[in-house]
């Protein structure tokens, strides 16, 4: 068990169009995770995105390693050493509907979450300068996250409890990312108490399923193999534009919350329209872009 951090004032929620991105730190992570736990009973699809302080280690060379094995070794080396900075999380139901709440002005707003972690000290922690500069340009405040964010160990402990308390009658959660090797790796790291990642991608996926108590999908992998060449090798925004996913206006910062929302929208389109529903889409369960 852990001691609860002292209460602090969280950053205000960000509203983009009809989307409210709830900023989560040390003062409100338990409340928001409990709310997410209740919403999971009606909105069991969970799209995630992570931000982290870049990469320090390259992929190992050698003819004995497959491309997937080299990429996983690259992911593992960096995730094992560097902490997560943010986790974006967006829920939806099977039709892509997001949970909504009424704000102080009587507007009905869709909800997404952005968890800010306090583990990283920019003055001491190793990082890739270009990645840090980019995150700062998007409005991420390292000092604020360090002071007011939630330690990832506290977050993971409370999330594990929320998942364990889900009723047996509800649909197990379906976890989704776009280009999700780092995203699922960080989830496994946090929920494993910061232990090193498993040695193989197969073990990582099995561990993710076990810890997250559900299935795992990568919308980028689904896009790569859907028979549409214009989606091959394309990034998050390009895939969203090609698929006609509605864009947020004004364009939000390229941080974890908005990116999880876009990943959610892409997955819904890929699952319902491109791959013809859960029956066909399930062939992609556990296939993470780059490591399979």
Q: What is the DSSP string of 184-238?
A: HHHHHHHHTTTPPPPSSHHHHHHHHHHHHTSEEEEHHHHHHTSS-GGGTT--HHH
Q: How many CA atoms does the CB half-sphere of 136 hold within 13 Å?
A: 9
Q: pLDDT band at residue 60, thresholds of 50, 70 and 90?
A: confident
pTM: 0.92
Q: Which two tokens stand for residue 125?
A: 């922690």
Q: At what angle do helices 201-212 and 181-191 cross, to 10 degrees?
A: 60
Q: Which two tokens stand for residue 182?
A: 């780092």
pLDDT at position 99: 96
**Spatial distance between the Cα atoms of 285 and 292, rounded to a whole number of angstroms:** 11
User: What pLDDT was estimated at residue 208?
Assistant: 98
For 230-242, write each residue's pLDDT tens digit: 999 999 999 999 9
Residues shown for the chain: 292
Long-range contacts of residues 55-58, Cβ cutoff 8 Å, at least 24 apart: 55/82, 55/128, 55/131, 56/81, 56/82, 56/126, 56/127, 56/128, 57/81
Q: Which residues, 6 or more positions from 135, have their beta carbon under 8 angstroms from its beta carbon?
A: 51, 53, 85, 142, 255
Run of H or E residues at 256: helix 256-269
- Structure tokens of 291? 């490591």
Kindly list the structural domains of the chain, giving each domain's residue range(s) and its CATH number in brackets, ordered by start.
12-282 (3.30.420.10)
Structure letter (DSSP) for residue 7: P
Give the whole-number percent of the chain exceeding pLDDT 70.
91
- Average pLDDT of 182-188? 98
Structure tokens at 167: 């009723």
Percent of the chain with pLDDT strictly greater than 90: 73
Other residues' Cβ atoms within 10 Å of the Cβ of residue 9:
9
pLDDT grade, residue 227 (50/70/90)?
confident
Asked whether the CA dihedral 239, 241, 247, 250 is positive or negative, the reply is positive
Residues 63, 191: contact at Cβ < 8 Å?
A: no
The backbone torsions φ and ψ at residue 54, rounded to the nearest 5 degrees and listed phi first, read 85, -165
Instruction: Report which of 264, 278, 270 is spatially closest to residue 91, judged by C-alpha positions.
Output: 264
Tell me if 118 sits within 8 A of 149, measured CB to CB.
yes
Contact 171, 191 (CB under 8 A): no
Window from 22-36, 97-111, 272-286 with minimum mean pLDDT: 272-286
Q: Which pLDDT score, from 0 to 100, does residue 5 have?
A: 42
Torsion of CA 247, 249, 252, 256, to 10 degrees: -40
């Amino acid at each position: 068990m852990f001691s609860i951090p002292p209460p602090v004032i969280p950053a205000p929620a960000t509203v983009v169009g009809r989307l409210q991105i709830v900023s989560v730190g040390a003062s409100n992570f338990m409340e928001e995770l409990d709310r997410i736990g209740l919403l999971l009973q009606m909105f069991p699809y969970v799209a995630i995105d992570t931000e982290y302080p870049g990469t320090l280690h390259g992929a190992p060379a050698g003819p004995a390693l497959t491309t997937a094995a080299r990429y996983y070794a690259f992911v593992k080396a960096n995730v094992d050493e560097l902490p997560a900075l943010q986790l974006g999380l967006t829920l939806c139901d099977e039709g892509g509907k997001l949970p909504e709440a009424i704000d102080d002005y009587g507007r009905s707003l869709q909800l997404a979450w952005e968890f800010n972690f306090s583990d990283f000290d920019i003055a001491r922690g190793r990082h890739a300068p270009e990645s840090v500069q980019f995150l700062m340009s998007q409005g991420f405040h390292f000092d604020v996250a360090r002071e007011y964010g939630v330690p990832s160990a506290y977050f993971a402990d409370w999330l594990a409890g929320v998942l364990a308390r889900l009723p047996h009658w509800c649909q197990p959660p379906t976890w989704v990312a776009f280009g999700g090797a780092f995203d699922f790796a960080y989830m496994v790291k946090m929920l494993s108490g910061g232990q090193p990642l498993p040695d193989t991608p197969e073990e990582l996926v099995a561990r993710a399923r076990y810890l997250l108590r559900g299935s795992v999908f990568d919308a980028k992998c689904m896009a790569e193999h859907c028979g549409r060449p214009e989606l091959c090798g394309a990034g998050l925004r390009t895939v969203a534009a090609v698929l006609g996913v509605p864009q947020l206006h004004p364009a939000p910062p390229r941080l974890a919350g908005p990116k999880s929302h876009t990943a959610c929208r892409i997955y819904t389109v890929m699952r319902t329209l491109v791959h013809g529903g859960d029956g066909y889409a399930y062939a992609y369960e556990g296939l993470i872009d780059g490591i399979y």
